[in-house]
Amino acid sequence: MPSNSRFARPTLRFMTSALGLLLASAVRAQPVPDVSKVTVKVVPVAAGVYMLEGIGGNIGLSVGKDDAFVIDDQYAPLSDKIKAAVATVTPKPVRFVVNTHWHFDHVGGNEAMAGAGAIIFAHENTRRRMSVEQFIQAFNMKIPPSPTAALPIITFTDTITFYTNDDTVRTFHVANAHTDGDVIIHFRKANVIHMGDTFFNGRYPLIDLSSGGSMAGMIAAANQGLAMSNADTRFIPGHGPLGTRADLVRYRDMLVTVRDRVVKLIAQQKTLKEILDAKPTADLDATWGNGNIKADQFLTIVYQSLTQR
Ligand SMILES: [Zn+2]
């Protein structure tokens, strides 16, 4: 979901109050960002691999002897700036795009990418959700179906492997984490893992329960990323700065700590309001609560995930 940006802050302020009002307010429409002042920054990650930061989910980029390979493409109005950023590191066109999940801040550039000749891949749940109207409960927001030209044209259910730019790029689904269509992408030779929105580096994450996400799945996804990594692995998070293995360990540990504390309070028959009033993450909030998802909203999502049937 949206990272720090001028339009996202009021959205999330609204969200926090909307949670309290239990969706009493009118359903919101998908935001259209003003990208006029946005620069797309190219961050070197490893030989031939880059992370592109604009607004929205971090983009992964692999370049080399073959055509460019891209993971996620942010917002449609940014497409020209993204293409220009790619062109600063390779003269070759984008051949493949993988979407890590369906959220509009990760797939908005699909139509432009496909129009320029790229083939778009995603988990089948990502295409399914993009094909019909969606409602994100945590944002009280309706998302219209994507145009046909923006839909992934090759889908998979478990894994798919790309052999490109002298690397083996293993792409695999993780069940019910941030959504029900998340994929993690592992560049084996470059030793880089793009975690999609299963990893918010240094901040509380959004878990989109209304898209099939779950707290248990978020922890499992972090553990899967750790299991295939070593001390030198670089991690591209969906949101936040480029990460190390130690960053992902800290994030996983935070998720486990928050889960355990909320589980304990639920076992004591506490209501959500009592849990929020108890401020069980007070010692963590200064470190993790400065992103778009604040402590109360994260606790609400964790509570809902742990109590939903
Ligand atoms: Zn997302």
Tell me the pLDDT tens digit for each residue of 141-167.
999 999 999 999 999 999 999 999 999
CA of 229 to the centre of ligand 1 (A): 23
CA of 115 to the centre of ligand 1 (A): 24
CA of 91 to the centre of ligand 1 (A): 30
CA of 269 to the centre of ligand 1 (A): 31
Higher pLDDT, 18 or 31: 31
**Cα separation, 269 vs 271, whole angstroms:** 6
CA of 166 to the centre of ligand 1 (A): 29
Share of the chain above pLDDT 90, in %: 88
**Residue at 229: amino acid letter:** S
CA of 72 to the centre of ligand 1 (A): 11
Q: Which residues of 232-256 are buried (b: 16+ CB within 10 A; e: fewer)?
A: ebbbbbbbbebbebebbebbbebbe
CA of 101 to the centre of ligand 1 (A): 7
CA of 145 to the centre of ligand 1 (A): 16
Confidence band, pLDDT 50/70/90 cuts, at residue 31: confident
What global pTM score does this model have? 0.91
CA of 64 to the centre of ligand 1 (A): 28
Confidence band, pLDDT 50/70/90 cuts, at residue 8: very low
Q: What is the pLDDT of residues 176-197, one digit of tens each?
A: 999 999 999 999 999 999 999 9
Q: What is the CA radius of gyration of the chain?
A: 19
Share of the chain above pLDDT 70, in %: 92
**Residue at 173: amino acid letter:** H
CA of 197 to the centre of ligand 1 (A): 5
Residue 6 has pLDDT above 80, yes or no: no
